Amino acid sequence: MTKKEIKALISLLDDSDYEVAQHVEQKIISLGEGAIPLLEEEWEETLNPDLQKKIEDLIHDMQFNATLHRLQEWKDEGATDLLKGMWLVNAYMYPDVDFAAISKSMDQLYFDAWTHMKDDMHPYDQVKSLNNVLFREQKFSANTKNFHSPANSMLHLALETKRGNPLTLCVIYMVIAQRLGFPVYGVNLPNLFILTYKMDGVQFYINVYNKGLILSKADIDNYILQLNLNPVDIFYEPTSNLEIVKRALRNLAFSFEKMKDLEKATEVTKLLTAITDEDPAIQ
């Protein structure tokens, strides 16, 4: 379809005949994301508030469906790129944020950390060096004032503001650590996401939310004991990229629930369900 034809179609979204309006909406959706710029143009040009609202809803639905399908593809391809998975979580609230921009920020942090590394460093020294770069030089820190804000689950905002929740900070830390060749992985603790350094009989834990504090297994034992839970492997061993992204989506849904925005919480749960083999509600 030509641009003129598409714009003519968009103008019919507000047709008084419900069936016509529905048919037009489905036709526009079938055109894919390429129609969004034209929808945005029409939104700016029209003075009809009802049409503007319909265009806003349609753009949101198209962007949401695109994000859902990309998340499914990411999972089906093996969920190997954690940064891409977190960017797709980011896309729910900020569909216009470019993956290249996030990658560029991470590349710069990696380079800053790499310049501080020396050959044959002890694992503890590797972690302390990375801690120094991220928490002293770059001044990343926990966002304790707005802990439940949905913004805390947005990776690009964590990179911009240098504030985030345990998960987003851990993802930044872990991606850089792995690029440096460190065997650092995520660990799904209850109420707190942390990292573990695990290789050749050496294992300890890193609390990124507390500026990279190094923890022992005994510290994790005590934490589990305080929560009156039974110690199970998932609390001690590395988790997958898929599980990390699923936890990010659960965090985001919970944030919207805390804000009483049940519509957005429901949508995020749909994204979670799209990459979950079992019902996420029973996890």
Which is nearest to 177 in space by CA: 52, 83, 279? Answer: 83
Q: What is the pLDDT of residues 11-31, one digit of tens each?
A: 778 777 788 878 888 888 888
156 & 217 share domain:
yes
Rounded to two decimals, the pTM is 0.90
Domain edge (last residue) among 35, 61, 76: 76
Domain that holds residue 132: 82-282
Q: CA angle 279-157-52, nearest 5°?
A: 75
Please choose, from the candidates 167, 163, 168, the residue with its C-alpha nearest in 3D space to the C-alpha of residue 144: 163
Domain end call among 50, 76, 102:
76
Tokens of 159: 């990179």
**DSSP secondary structure letters along 257-269:** HHTT-HHHHHHHH
| Final residue before a domain boundary, out of 76, 107, 138 | 76
Vertex 184, ends 206 and 242: CA angle to 5°?
Answer: 105
Q: 88 and 64, same structural domain?
A: no
Q: How far is residue 267's CA from residue 269's CA, in Å, rounded to a whole number?
A: 5
pLDDT of residue 278: 63
What is the domain count for the chain?
2
Which residue numbers in the chain have pLDDT < 50? 280-283
**Helices (H), ranges, 1-81:** 3-11, 18-30, 36-45, 49-76
User: What pLDDT does residue 218 have?
Assistant: 97
Q: Are residues 110 and 183 in the same domain?
A: yes
